[in-house]
Amino acid sequence: MPKLVIPLTDLKLKTTKAGAKLIKLSDGDGLYLEVLPNGSKTWRFRFRQVNGKENLLTFGPYPDVSLVEARTKRAQARQLLRDGIDPARDRDAQRVAAADQRAHTFERVARDWHANKMKSWSPQYAENVLHRLEQDIFPDIGPEPIMGLPHRRIIAVLRKIETRGAVEIAKRQRAVCRQIFSYAIQSGIADRNPVTDMADILQPVSPGHFPAITSEELPRFLRALHSNEARTGRVTLLAVRLMMLVFIRTSELIEAPWSELPPGTKQWVIPWRRMKLGKRHLNPIKVDHVVPLPRQAVELIEELRKLTGGGALLFPNMRDHSRPMSNNTILKVIERMGYKGDMTGHGFRTLAMSTIKETLKYRHEPVDRQLAHVVKDKVQRAYDRAAYLDERAVMMQAWADYLDVVTREALSAV
């Protein structure tokens, strides 16, 4: 007749003292507490494997693992045995899975996704995607396992980007994170995509709307730019002034190679591959953008050539000359001037468009083409490029001369 085992009690567990030899306090059905001479107490579970061999599981130390918890673990192990599963092998499999989960951090999966996708991207686009992840996402959630990453952590990262005024970037990063989670699911690393439920989390982006000053505010802005010259690096200052003169997009300016601007050139031809519509994955507009350079812009470019002309880029990154200046560099200058939220790099395009049409009285068509707003019809596009180039050259010089006049008047009024 099997020996009757009296179930353990918390009082029995607490009052049992260590002896000279190992003590076993049985709770029945293979569960017992092992009390060592040094006073440590550990839960053990003895069982027979599916193949009939005896084995032992450790449930953890007492009192960290309570009597109730130990009995729960025993019940779970016995249920596995009834289902034909070896508890020891199940434990080992769970440990491997947990280790695998810890190894598959968000950053590791994101870099794998990036390496897989970059074969179908242009080198510049691939670099930009990775750089933005390194700047905005990895510092906050990069080290965390992608499996089970909470919604609120991802939302916090996206809103952090949004609060600095980069609403469009936050929207793009949300799309990138959605793709990374999708890749993780397809790779068997994650089982859900938390970003798919974040359609209404971020502020809506107003298409084409960027903060910009008006022509009436331009004199004050120019005085602020002049007063901040001493605190602004010369290369950065030239970037701001050149952007004001030619009002191309920020990326088109700061990513420009010197090969596009040979000495003495009066026209800047930006290849279609660097243009916004040329970078589209579907149906890119393959039209180079011609920028007639006013005299003042040529002078700035030649000054810049003396500073950075020995390298590949007009505006190299200060830490890594193989990469362009950060998108935020111009924005930071504008913020230091006191125009945070009121002006952006893109705002120079809005300022130029409104002032050239309303103050200098130029027609909409040449201004629109100078902004690289390309019409969809191919025949009309070719005509526009030919028809307005001479007019645009005169218009760009008039804009530069206008800025000179406003600058002189603004500084003389100080």
Tokens 């004199």 correspond to what residue? 219
Catalytic residue, candidates 74, 349, 369, 392? 349
pLDDT at 1: 46
Q: Is 276 a catalytic residue?
A: yes
SS3 186: helix
Contact (Cβ atoms closer than 8 angstroms) between residue 279 and residue 122: yes
From the list 226, 232, 261, 216, the residue with the least C-alpha distance to 330 is 232
Q: What is the mean pLDDT of residues 312-327?
A: 91
Catalytic residue, candidates 266, 373, 378, 408? 373
Side-chain half-sphere CA neighbours of 366 within 13 A: 20
pLDDT at 284: 76
For the chain, the straight-line distance linking the first and the last C-alpha, in angstroms and rounded, comes to 107
The distance between the two most distant Cα atoms of the chain, rounded to a whole number of Å, is 111
Q: Tell me whether the omega of the peptide bond preceding residue 63 falls within 30 degrees of 0, making it cis.
A: yes
What's the order of all strands across the beta sheet hosting 41-48?
23-28, 31-35, 41-48, 54-61
- Whether pLDDT at 39 is above 90: no
- Whole-number mean pLDDT of the chain? 85
Q: Token pair for residue 26?
A: 């049985």
Note the pTM of the prediction, 2 decimals: 0.52
Contact (Cβ atoms closer than 8 angstroms) between residue 289 and residue 251: no
Contact (Cβ atoms closer than 8 angstroms) between residue 47 and residue 30: yes
Least confidently predicted of 203-212, 221-230, 302-311: 203-212
From the list 324, 303, 292, 293, the residue with the least C-alpha distance to 238 is 303
Catalytic residue, candidates 12, 91, 131, 276? 276
Radius of gyration of the chain (CA): 34
Helix pair angle (378-412, 295-308), 10° resolution: 80
SS3 342: coil
Any idea what DSSP says for residue 311?
A: S
pLDDT at 260: 96
- The CATH homologous superfamily for domain 106-197 is Tyrosine recombinase, N-terminal domain (1.10.150.130)
How many CB atoms are located within 10 Å of the residue 232 CB? Answer: 18
DSSP assignment of 112-145 = HHHHHHGGGS-HHHHHHHHHHHHHHTHHHHTTSB
Decide the pairing of beta strands 31-35 and 23-28.
Answer: antiparallel
Distance CA 383, CA 315 (A): 33
CA dist 102 → 187, 282, 322, 402 (Å): 16, 38, 34, 61
Q: Token pair for residue 323?
A: 């990469």
Any idea what DSSP says for residue 314?
A: S
How many CB atoms are located within 10 Å of the residue 245 CB? Answer: 23
Q: Which residues of 120-147 are buried (b: 16+ CB within 10 A; e: fewer)?
A: eeeeeebbbbbebbeebbbeebbeebbb
Q: Tell me whether the omega of the peptide bond preceding residue 143 falls within 30 degrees of 0, making it cis.
A: no
- Per-residue pLDDT tens digits for 152-175: 999 999 988 888 767 777 888 999
Distance CA 55, CA 44 (A): 10
Distance CA 218, CA 215 (A): 5
Catalytic residue, candidates 114, 249, 289, 392? 249
- Per-residue pLDDT tens digits for 173-194: 999 999 999 999 998 888 889 8
- The full set of domain ranges for the chain reads 10-102, 106-197, 215-412
Q: What is the mean pLDDT of residues 71-85?
A: 85
Distance CA 169, CA 278 (A): 19
Any idea what DSSP says for residue 170?
A: H
Q: Is 349 a catalytic residue?
A: yes
Catalytic residue, candidates 241, 289, 346, 369? 346
CA dist 220 → 143, 262, 329, 338, 373 (Å): 46, 35, 21, 11, 29
Q: Is 114 a catalytic residue?
A: no
CATH 1.10.443.10 fits 215-412, yes or no: yes
Q: How many residues make up the chain in this entry?
A: 414
User: For residues 375 and 104, which has the higher predicted lDDT (pLDDT)?
Assistant: 104
Catalytic residue, candidates 24, 295, 378, 383? 383
CATH code for 10-102? 3.30.160.390
- Per-residue pLDDT tens digits for 257-297: 999 999 999 999 999 888 887 777 667 778 888 999 999 99
Distance CA 151, CA 137 (A): 14
Asked if domains 106-197 and 215-412 share a fold, the reply is: no
- Whether pLDDT at 98 is above 70: no
Q: What is the mean pLDDT of residues 354-369?
A: 90
Residues 6+ apart with CB under 8 A from 211: 341, 342, 343, 344, 347
pLDDT at 88: 74
